[in-house]
């Protein structure tokens, strides 16, 4: 499933095509979208934004298109009349005079009035967006130590969109490694320095993944890895998907485990469980 940085990158791509533009025609692949889509034809797109793993496209008549890619959804862009070569099912197509924004395979899509968005079952429950511009580490520290979250394992907490929206499986492993904390700890078991490190790295790693289009390695290490001319996947991460490979910090072999039904990776030396 795409995580927050990937959804934000997709939103950037869609915004270049439709933001500020009039939608001349719309196609829908799901019956429940037909009535709402008719109200968007001829309207101008004011903004494309993300909230965690959800994307919102706002129109000048106050209506908004909500979409969540889940496992299989993907947004694409193309020149109008030149659809991508794909076997995916088209769910929504927004056509401007010259370009098209196309959503394939997703099933969680809706068209909403402002008051309906305020009551949306996903949007009303998620925590702050990991890429929120004004998100401060102090805010995350308070959330980590709150009664609601402090007694949960970090491995579970860092997949919970109620805590922070936009974190998924690879960011979970990478953030915990960057902070130097084991995934089995609970926030209440960490000291103040560890809480601060975790809060800071949550923001830093998320922003890095967005700016580098999916890389979470720090700049100094990324520069060295670039010289090796390794594959995209081999140089992206510090621990994720690197089972039994040497830690980039201490050369201890990376551990792969299962937590909350998902694979997770850590370094026993850099993230000790005392």
pLDDT score, position 211? 95
Q: Is 70 left (phi over 0), alpha (psi -120 to 50) or beta?
A: left
**CATH 3.40.605.10 is the classification of domain 4-118:** no
Active-site option among 5, 6, 51, 53? 53
Tokens linked to 94: 């927004």
Q: Is 3 a catalytic residue?
A: yes
pLDDT the model gives residue 231: 83
Residue by residue, what is the 3-state secondary structure of the chain?
A: CCCHHHHHHHHHHHHHHHCCCECCEEEECCHHHHHHHHCCCCCEEEEEEEECCEEEEEECCCCEEEEECCCCCEEEEEECCCCCCCCCCEEEEEECCCEEEEEECCCEEEEECHHHHHCCCCCCCCCCECCCCCCCHHHHHHHHCCCCCCCCCHHHHCCCCCCCECCCHHHHHHHHHHHCCCCCCCHHHCCHHHHHHHHHHHHHHHHHHHHCCCCCCCHHHHHHHHCCCCCCHHHCCCCCCCCCCECCCCCCECEEEEECCEEEEECCCCCCCC
What is the predicted pLDDT for the residue at 202?
Answer: 98
pTM across the whole model: 0.92
Say whether 262 is catalytic.
yes
Q: Any catalytic annotation for residue 272?
A: no
Catalytic residue among 2, 5, 183, 187: 2
pLDDT by residue for the chain (274 residues), tens digit each?
Answer: 679 999 999 999 999 999 999 999 999 999 999 999 999 999 999 999 999 999 999 999 999 999 998 878 899 999 999 989 899 999 999 999 999 999 999 989 999 999 999 999 999 999 999 999 999 999 999 999 999 999 999 999 999 999 999 999 999 999 999 999 999 999 999 999 999 999 999 999 999 999 999 899 998 888 888 888 778 888 899 999 999 999 999 999 999 999 989 999 999 999 999 8
CATH 3.20.190.10 domain span(s) along the chain: 4-118
pLDDT of residue 128: 95
For residue 175, the model assigns a pLDDT of 98
How many Å separate Cα 183 from the centre of its chain? 20
2 is catalytic: yes
Class of domain 137-266: mainly alpha
Per-residue tokens: 13: 């791509």
Which residue is catalytic, options 43, 88, 262, 263? 262
**Which residues of the chain form CATH 1.10.8.50?**
137-266
């Amino acid at each position: 499933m795409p995580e927050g940085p990937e959804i934000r990158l997709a939103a950037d791509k869609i915004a270049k095509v439709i933001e500020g533009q009039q939608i001349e025609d719309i196609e829908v692949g799901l019956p429940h979208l037909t009535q709402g889509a008719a109200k968007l034809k001829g309207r101008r797109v004011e903004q494309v934004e993300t909230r965690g793993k959800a994307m919102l496209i706002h129109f000048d008549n106050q209506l908004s298109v909500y979409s969540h890619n889940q496992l299989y959804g993907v947004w694409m862009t193309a020149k109008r009349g030149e659809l991508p070569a794909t076997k995916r099912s088209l769910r929504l197509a927004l056509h401007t005079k010259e370009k098209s924004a196309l959503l394939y395979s997703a099933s969680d899509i809706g068209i909403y009035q402002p008051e309906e968005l305020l009551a949306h079952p996903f949007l009303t429950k998620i925590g702050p967006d990991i890429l929120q511009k004004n998100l401060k580490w102090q805010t995350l520290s308070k959330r980590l130590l709150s009664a609601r979250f402090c007694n949960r394992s970090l491995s579970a907490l860092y997949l919970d969109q109620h805590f922070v929206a936009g974190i998924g499986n690879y960011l979970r492993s990478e953030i915990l490694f960057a902070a130097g904390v084991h995934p089995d700890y609970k926030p209440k078991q960490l000291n103040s320095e560890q809480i601060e490190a975790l809060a800071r790295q949550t923001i830093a790693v998320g922003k890095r993944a967005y700016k580098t289009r999916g890389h979470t390695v720090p700049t100094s290490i990324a520069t060295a890895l670039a010289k090796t001319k390794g594959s995209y996947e081999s140089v992206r991460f510090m621990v994720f998907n690197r089972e039994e490979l040497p830690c980039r910090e201490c050369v201890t072999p990376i551990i792969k485990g299962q937590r909350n039904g998902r694979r997770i990776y850590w370094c026993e030396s850099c993230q000790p469980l005392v």
